[in-house]
Structure 1
Amino acid sequence: MFILDEPLVLLFVIIALGMLIGQWSIKGVGLGSSAVLFVAMVFGHYGYEISSVVQNLGLSLFIVAVGLQAGPRFFKMIKTSGIIFGIIGVVIVALAGFTTLIVASVMDLSPALSAGIMTGAMTSTPGLAAALEATGDPIASVGYGIAYPFGVLAVVLFVQLFPKVLKVDLMKDLNRKSSPIRRTSSPDVMTIEVTNDAVHKRTLKELRLAEGTSAVISRVIRGDRTIISLSDTVIMKGDRLVAVGNKRDLAHLRDEVGKEVPTNFSNHDNIKLRKVTVESEAVVGKSLRELALRRTYGVTVTRIERVGFEFNQNPGWRLEQGDILTVVSSEGRLDELESLLSTKKLEVTNIHLFSLALILLIGILIGMIPLYIPWLGTITLGIAGGPLLVALVIGHYGKLGPIRARFFQPSNQVIGDIGLALFLAGAGTTAGAGIVEIIQQEGARILLAGAIITAVPLIGGFFIAKKLFHLSMVHSLGALCGGMTSTPGLGALNSLVETDDPAIAYAAAYPFALIFVALMSQLIVLFL
């Protein structure tokens, strides 16, 4: 058609048709945004082509969004029990890579096609992006497109059918097994009477009590008065400090200032402890220090929970939507704080174009630096790996110099969705030019390779989680979905149990698998 010769018309026709088809689902399973790739391949078969500049722009935007989203959690997970799930995610990807090398050698598949099949079996678009850049061969998209549907269906069916085959009651098994996920529990509370002369008539700011530990002084009881602890609160001998934290840190604080006395709040019912969920976009990305909750609202944050993991209160902690803060103050002040954190504002995006441009620029420049790997030769991170690395680091810190990278979740979603659509449209038209010939040449070998590369890490990863780490069936399947980067699989698992354990295991494994599969696709090309 003549109208499709206009590049912008062609681009948006492909994206619109792809997103329309992606909304269709059969029993909850659909292609989602990956449908854009399949539509683009059809157009590519008939000779239409999207500029490589558009494809590379989309790739960079999508990869940066992935890095900014994973950054805040990725490094924190390494320091917590979530590393167990991260290890499982990495092992699953390693199994997929090892299986791909064997299958490619036995079936004599090209490096680009092999890497594409693996990323399709793992349903990983970042992996496909890395494979395309490493090979420069559009056949990787063909492998991805053929293996992708099987990868989606295999995980969904495995999650739903395997517990039935083994006749496992998921909830009973979950309650019977010890969990590596640290659950929220009532905080330890200790009341300490001040007897140390060195503490007398000094402010909490001057004393710096329990700094760097989990212990937080939430209130000061002086006679019949209860005082919310602020940085300028003066401590007197005979005061009773009510502290919250773990037992070891509380014991250290007690030894530093005085002696433990019985805790009795019967005369101080105006002081309450409440859990408040962060929902307001106005505070997302801001640190507790920036919000100055003690000074402004007279409340004390004693602990923070994110995706089922508990962390000690830290002034530098930057809030994300869904964080749960345990706070102590009077009823009225807690109501005021809850209004601040939970009231939704009209502003839902905060894309900082200057920061985004700098992240992309620095990432692309770093991606151009040659890296020598012994026995493998020289490689570069490219326009996928470079921006991903930079986005992970900056996403972790939130702000570096003039770069602000802690965007609201809707902002990341906008950047990622636009980038992904542009990338898939370009990759699809390029791959579509030779798809018929490839299928005719390779035929059933591609389908068989995709089935094997999906099945081995799927089954192997599950048994490693179950037998090596002794996880419950629910946690094993949740980690498996994260390791296979399968959101449809998680959705299927969530429908089987009424608990957030699958989502927590998925969230812990997913960032590791997401990053490692992109690296693995490049390693496969080097080894083959």
Structure 2
Amino acid sequence: MGGINLIVDNPFFLLFLSMLTGILLGKIRVGNFKLGNSGALFSGLIIGWYIITRINDQEVVDSLNSTFHTFFIFSLILFISSVGLIASKNIKEIVKRFGVKFMMIAFFITFFGFIGTYFLSTFYENKYNFIGIYSGALTSSPGLATAIESAPEFQTSITYGYSIGYIPGVLAVIFAMYFIPVIFKIDIKKEKENLLAKSVFYKDDNTGFDFISYMFVIITGILVGKINIGAGINFNLGITGGVLLSSLILGAAGKLWIFDFRMNYRVLKIFQEFGLLMFLASVGLKSGYRTFTTLNFSTFMLMLFSLIIAFASIFVGYLIGRYIFKMNWIILSGAVCGGMTSTPGLGAAIDANDSEEVVAGYGATYPFALLGMVVFNKVFLILLS
């Protein structure tokens, strides 16, 4: 037990072990499918579960979970800021071409998820679990915060539903990014060629990397994310939305006063890869114990419902975007991830398509999806009251 204690007392060891084993797991190919960077999520889940089950000291467990959450936030900032700056050079053209379509995709994904969740809740006695499942299936922390704020007396039920629904929601988006092109026979290479024929993607390796400007992007994003928008709704973009918005806008501006936001592509790619691996590993580490130890028939059914809600919402977004709006898959894949407010999904989309252009769709759809989650959570609570 002494050796185990030396390991669990060092969360950095657990983090890098999860990342290392995740990279190796992600390289395993079954047919045309491999987990890629998402392997870090699964290795983190297993390691997180195993280590926590070996600890009898609750103080150590709480300290570990707190550190894992810090890893989670830091890696999220690293990943989002780098992909936002990479995609910023094309964001104006992408939004101009697809415009209101992003808003409609966000609406239909969050609305269909809401309708499906509400329907399933009618068969259960504790309907407030499904408020949490709705936010979990669409991986929306702002949705959870809105629900808890609006119905604090049901916080336990709502949080439980979210914790049960989150991992299936994450897995649904990740797998969808790999399997949709297979199911619908999408030629990713051709989609990229069609998109790039109309826009030259920014990969200038001759530019430098200004850490002062990079820190300014992050600080600005954190401040923007804290601004409440809309009277009575208590809606804000949070760290993810704020940093994404600042990196896209400032990156598109290029230069502002003493700040130069034209960052070296290769450096940003390193930040992106490391941030994503760290993000996925930390999600697994802090969720592994709860995910595996709460498994029984009831929780299994709730997780299954969350998976169904997530997949249904994803396919609604895909079908509308592809067959009604005629959108290019590279941009649509990012829009679907944005509609699901799923950062792990964004990482999977970048990995599966081998293209950072997906971030433009994600960035343009994400704020509307956050707003949709806030509004539909409030509607859900009104219907239950």
How far apart are the structure 2 equivalents of 1:479 and 1:420?
20
For the residue of structure 2 that corresponds to 1:434, the secondary structure is helix
The 1:527/1:442 distance shift into structure 2, 3 A limit, reads: farther
Contact kept? 1:138, 1:431, Cα under 8 Å: no
Q: How big is the shift at 1:96?
A: 1.8
1:407 and 2:263 equivalent? Answer: yes
Distance 1:354 1:59, change over 3 A: same
User: How many angstroms apart in 1 are the aligned matches of 2:185 and 2:217?
Assistant: 44
TM-score (norm 1): 0.53
- Identify which of 78, 81, 90 aligns with 1:73: 90
Name the counterpart of 1:397: 253
Asked if 1:114 is matched to 2:134, the reply is yes
1:61 Cα shift?
A: 1.6
Q: CA RMSD in A?
A: 4.1
What's the counterpart of residue 354 of structure 1? 212
The alignment status of 1:29 with 2:33, answered yes or no, reads yes
Deviation at 1:394, TM superposition (A): 0.5
For residues 71-220 of structure 1, what are the structure 2 equivalents within 5 Å? 71-79=88-96, 82-83=97-98, 87-106=100-119, 107=121, 108=127, 109-119=129-139, 140=162, 143-154=165-176, 156-162=178-184
User: Does the 8 Å CA contact 2:102/2:364 hold for their aligned counterparts?
Assistant: yes
Q: What's the counterpart of residue 45 of structure 2?
A: 41
| Letter of the 1:442 counterpart | T
Instruction: Compute the displacement of 1:443 (Å).
Output: 1.3
Shift of 1:349: 7.9
Change (3 A) 1:140 1:95: same
SS in 1 for 2:262: coil
Residue in structure 1 matched with residue 154 of structure 2 by the alignment: none
Q: Measure how far apart 1:484 and its partner are.
A: 2.6
Query: Conserved in 2, the CA contact under 8 Å of 1:91 and 1:461?
Result: no
Structure 2 letter corresponding to 1:446 = M
Give 1:410 shift. 1.7
Distance 1:28 1:155 in 2: 13
Higher helix content, 1 or 2: 2
Closer, same or farther in 2 for the Cα pair 1:97/1:425, shift >3 Å? same
SS at match of 1:351: coil
Amino acid at match of 1:57: F
Summarize the Cα distance change of 1:135–1:61 in structure 2 as closer, same or farther, 3 Å threshold.
Answer: farther
Q: Which runs of 5+ in 2 are unaligned?
A: 53-60, 122-126, 149-158, 338-344, 381-385
Q: 1:3-14 alignment to 2 at 5 Å? A: 3-4=6-7, 5-14=9-18
Cα distance in 2 for partners of 1:397, 1:506 equals 20
Deviation of residue 384 (structure 1)? 1.9
Q: Hey, what's the Cα distance between the residues in 2 that align with 1:505 and 1:357?
A: 23
CA distance in structure 1 between the partners assigned to 2:376 and 2:225 by the alignment: 19
Distance 1:355 1:418, change over 3 A: same
Could you tell me how far 1:397 is from its partner in structure 2? 0.5
- Structure 2 counterpart of 1:307: 196
What 5-or-longer segments of structure 1 have no aligned partner?
120-127, 165-169, 175-180, 184-305, 312-318, 323-346, 495-502
Cα distance change, pair 152–64 in 1 and its aligned pair in 2 (3 A): closer
Task: Tell me, yes or no, if the aligned pair for 2:109 and 2:317 is still in contact at 8 Å.
Answer: no
1:60 aligns with 2:54: no
- Deviation at residue 131 of structure 1 after TM alignment: 6.3
Select the structure that is richer in strand. Answer: 1
| Larger gyration radius, structure 1 or structure 2 | 1
Q: How far apart are residue 396 of structure 1 and its match?
A: 0.9
Q: 1:355 to 1:425 in 2, by over 3 A?
A: same
- What does the per-residue CA deviation read over 1:185-239, in whole Å, with 9 as the maximum and x for residues that have no partner? xxxxxxxxxxxxxxxxxxxxxxxxxxxxxxxxxxxxxxxxxxxxxxxxxxxxxxx
1:320 is paired with a residue whose SS is: coil
1:253-332 superposed matches below 5 A:
307-309=196-198, 320-321=202-203
Letter matched to residue 250 of structure 2: I
- How far apart are residue 458 of structure 1 and its match? 1.7
Does structure 2 retain, via aligned residues, the 8 Å contact 1:88–1:461? no
**Residue identity matched to 2:77:** S
Distance 1:117 1:90 in 2: 20
Q: Name the CA distance, whole Å, in 2 between partners of 1:361 and 1:507.
A: 20
The answer for the alignment partner of 1:512 in structure 2 is 364
Equivalent pairs: percent with the same residue? Answer: 22
Match of 1:451 in 2: 308
C-alpha change, 1:515 and 1:31, in structure 2 (3 Å) is farther
Question: Are 1:426 and 2:276 counterparts?
Answer: no
**AA of the residue aligned to 2:70:** V
Q: 1:484 aligns with which of 321, 331, 336?
A: 336
Distance in 1 (CA, whole Å) between partners of 2:352 and 2:218 is 36
Query: Given the superposition, is the C-alpha separation of residues 526 and 390 from structure 1 closer, same or farther in structure 2, using an over 3 Å criterion?
Result: farther
Number of positions where the alignment pairs a residue of Structure 1 with one of Structure 2? 335
The structure-2 alpha-carbon separation of the partners of 1:59 and 1:32, relative to structure 1 and needing over 3 Å to count, comes to same
Match of 2:21 in 1: 17
Asked if the contact 2:137/2:309 (under 8 Å) is kept, the reply is no
